[in-house]
């Protein structure tokens, strides 16, 4: 008796919708017979065709609804345009609780964050849990429509109630009309034989496309991956069972992100004549499409990606030793002064270099032409002579005063919260004097560059410190460029760095 009371209430709402729009039924029949939507003077509710994703208010967002405005009602015509309404999880990337993850792992008979000995992300872990629920029969997916089957009617009423609850600003008679329209199909998500969500869509058989009207998961089952899994099952079903090649919807700007995560794109590749007149464009919305690939299994997609990754990793192991991890160097644990633990022979002192076929880098291709740098060949000794000379010259520049020593933390308390890798001329000079810190001119120049970048990051562009950094950097670059040359003496040719 409860069922018949509920169904009667739903039927009453549907009849109310018909009375509000008496021309709607005939226009729908004309659209089916002619293969196109009626866009004439009637401007009826149904034939203007389905469009944009509805925005709901902030309270809706707290319930996991991506949209927030009520249906637009043009003042001149007092009509309501059909819109796609999407209800999804609040944050599909948000992790579930630790307790839930542990339960998921126990259900799958394996650790929640590992697969085959490899770490897996939250998405993969959640997908494994949902697949386990499907295998146990706890989670089921069914596609039904209003075909006068009693059980189907019960499920459709439950789905209608979810849409109504999650979309309080959507007219209930409108939801009833679409859900119970025999031309609309609904994919249900059943958990323990109870409807917890679904997608209502309309297939266009001649165009081989489906248009999504509603997509919702009940509030107490959100942030668990059901929305994504539901969409994947819909793609697989309409591709295999209904021979569809495209899904299409008109999304409000707040719903574009959700559709993008589900594989929808703003670039419509489907022939224009297939959807124009069926999917009406509206201001403030974006039409989005998902092209269905016949060779892809959307239900097994995460599983296939993991299998491909394992194959690639296995091939990499065959060709390289990149997967071998050697113990770190223990010689630096006790710290000490520069040079105390100097590595003189990397190949013999560092494990793994020889196995990786590492070779000693070739000498630099430039020559030092700065006075006092020996024969000009960039040996370690000559490089340090050049670095000392550069530091001495930079210190004499009138804009070097802000960089002479480290910033005083007592004077600038928050400096080291902003600047994580500080540098100053005094510190750089100590590193040069150690004669083992800077092995290349590039390392030396990089520390100077970091010193200038730190100054610009902390100070605004109108400060004297910011301007000093710019001028001193230009001076430093000029001195470095003037102290080296890429011209080879014996041939007179030029080599690239």
Helix or strand (DSSP H, E) at 196: strand 194-204
Residue 21's pLDDT band, with cuts at 50, 70 and 90, is very low
* 120, 307 contact by CB (below 8 A): no
Question: Which position has the token pair 């530091």?
Answer: 391
Classified as helix, coil or strand, 240 is: helix
Cα angle 464, 453, 342 (rounded to 5 degrees) comes to 130
Q: What is the pLDDT of residue 223?
A: 85
Q: How far apart are CA 199 and CA 228, in angstroms?
A: 11
Residue 370's pLDDT band, with cuts at 50, 70 and 90, is confident
pLDDT tens for each residue of 422-457: 999 999 999 999 888 898 899 999 999 999 999 999
Enumerate the domain spans of the chain: 2-302, 367-485
Q: Which residues pair with 487 in a beta bridge?
A: 494
**φ and ψ at residue 91, rounded to 5 degrees:** -150, 100
pLDDT tens for each residue of 115-127: 555 566 677 788 8
Q: What is the pLDDT of residue 415?
A: 94
Superfamily covering domain 367-485: Bromodomain-like (1.20.920.10)
Classified as helix, coil or strand, 172 is: helix
Q: What is the pLDDT of residue 404?
A: 95
Stated length of the chain: 497
Q: Which residues contact 55 (CB under 8 A, 6 or more apart)?
A: 67, 68, 69, 252, 254
Q: What's the burial of 88, exposed, middle or buried (CB within 10 Å: 0-12/13-18/19+)?
A: buried
**φ and ψ at residue 252, rounded to 5 degrees:** -65, 155
Closest CA to 241 of 156, 298, 192, 303: 298
Classified as helix, coil or strand, 339 is: coil
- CATH topology for 2-302? Aminopeptidase (3.40.630)
Closest CA to 220 of 248, 197, 199, 247: 197
Q: What's the burial of 401, exposed, middle or buried (CB within 10 Å: 0-12/13-18/19+)?
A: middle
* 200, 159 contact by CB (below 8 A): yes
Q: How far apart are CA 37 and CA 185, in angstroms?
A: 19
Residue 360 CB neighbour total at 10 angstroms: 9
Same CATH topology for 2-302 and 367-485: the answer is no
* 492, 414 contact by CB (below 8 A): no
Q: What is the pLDDT of residue 80?
A: 40
pLDDT tens for each residue of 478-493: 999 999 988 655 444 3
* Strands (E) located in 256-343: 285-291
Q: Which residues contact 422 (CB under 8 A, 6 or more apart)?
A: 406, 407, 415, 416, 454
The tally of CA atoms less than 13 A away on the side-chain side of residue 393 is 18
* 180, 156 contact by CB (below 8 A): yes
Q: What is the pLDDT of residue 204?
A: 92
According to DSSP, the β-strands at 194-204 and 209-217 are: antiparallel
At 156, list the tokens. Answer: 């459709």
Q: Which of 14, 89, 211, 236 is catalytic?
A: 211
pLDDT tens for each residue of 254-279: 678 888 888 899 888 888 888 887 87
Q: What's the burial of 199, exposed, middle or buried (CB within 10 Å: 0-12/13-18/19+)?
A: buried
Least confident interval from 73-87, 136-150, 217-231, 287-301: 73-87
Torsion (CA) 191, 194, 199, 201 in degrees, nearest 10? 130
Q: What is the pLDDT of residue 71?
A: 35
Q: What is the pLDDT of residue 118?
A: 58
Q: Residue 211 catalytic? A: yes
Residue 199's pLDDT band, with cuts at 50, 70 and 90, is very high
Q: What's the mean per-residue pLDDT of the chain?
A: 75
């Amino acid at each position: 008796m409860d069922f018949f009371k509920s169904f009667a209430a739903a039927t009453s709402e549907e009849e109310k919708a018909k009375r509000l729009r008496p021309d709607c039924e005939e226009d729908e029949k004309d659209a089916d017979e002619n293969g196109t939507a009626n866009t004439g003077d009637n401007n009826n509710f149904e034939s203007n065709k389905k469009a944009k994703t509805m925005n709901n208010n902030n309270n809706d967002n707290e319930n996991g609804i991506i949209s927030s405005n009520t249906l637009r009602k043009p003042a001149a015509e007092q009509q309501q345009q059909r819109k796609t309404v999407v209800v999804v999880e609040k944050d599909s990337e948000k992790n579930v609780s630790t307790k839930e993850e542990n339960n998921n792992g126990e259900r799958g008979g394996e650790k929640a964050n590992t697969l085959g000995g490899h770490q897996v992300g939250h998405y993969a872990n959640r997908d494994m849990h949902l697949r386990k629920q499907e295998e146990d029969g706890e989670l089921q997916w069914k596609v039904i429509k209003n075909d006068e089957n009693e059980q189907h009617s019960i499920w459709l009423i439950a789905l209608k109630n979810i849409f109504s609850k999650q979309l309080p600003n959507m007219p209930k008679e409108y939801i009833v009309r679409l859900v119970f329209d025999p031309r609309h199909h609904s994919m249900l998500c059943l958990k323990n034989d109870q409807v917890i969500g679904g997608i209502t869509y309309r297939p266009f058989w001649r165009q081989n496309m489906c248009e999504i009207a509603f997509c919702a998961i009940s509030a107490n089952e959100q942030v668990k991956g059901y929305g994504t899994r539901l969409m994947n099952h819909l793609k697989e079903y309409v591709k295999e069972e209904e021979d569809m090649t495209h899904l299409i919807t008109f999304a409000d700007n707040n719903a574009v992100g959700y559709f993008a995560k589900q594989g929808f794109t703003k670039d419509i590749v489907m022939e224009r004549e297939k959807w124009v007149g069926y999917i009406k464009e509206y201001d403030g919305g974006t039409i989005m499409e998902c092209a269905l690939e016949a060779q892809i299994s959307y239900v097994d997609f995460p599983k296939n990606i993991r299998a491909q990754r394992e194959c690639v990793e296995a091939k990499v192991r065959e060709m390289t030793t990149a997967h071998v991890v050697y113990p770190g160097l223990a010689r630096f644990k006790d710290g000490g002064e520069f040079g105390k633990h100097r590595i003189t022979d990397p190949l013999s002192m560092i494990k793994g270099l020889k196995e990786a076929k590492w070779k000693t880098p070739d000498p630099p291709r430039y020559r030092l032409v700065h006075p006092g740098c020996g024969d000009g060949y960039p040996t370690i000794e000559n490089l340090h002579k050049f670095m000392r000379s550069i530091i001495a010259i930079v210190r004499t520049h009138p804009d070097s005063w802000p960089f002479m020593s480290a910033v005083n933390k007592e004077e600038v308390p928050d400096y080291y919260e902003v600047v994580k890798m500080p540098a100053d001329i005094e510190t750089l000079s100590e590193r040069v004097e150690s004669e083992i810190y800077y092995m290349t001119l590039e390392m030396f120049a990089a520390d100077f560059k970091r010193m200038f970048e730190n100054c610009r990051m902390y100070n605004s562009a109108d400060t004297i410190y910011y301007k000093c950094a710019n001028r001193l950097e230009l001076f430093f670059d000029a001195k470095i460029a003037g102290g080296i040359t890429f011209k080879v003496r014996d041939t007179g040719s030029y080599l690239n760095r």
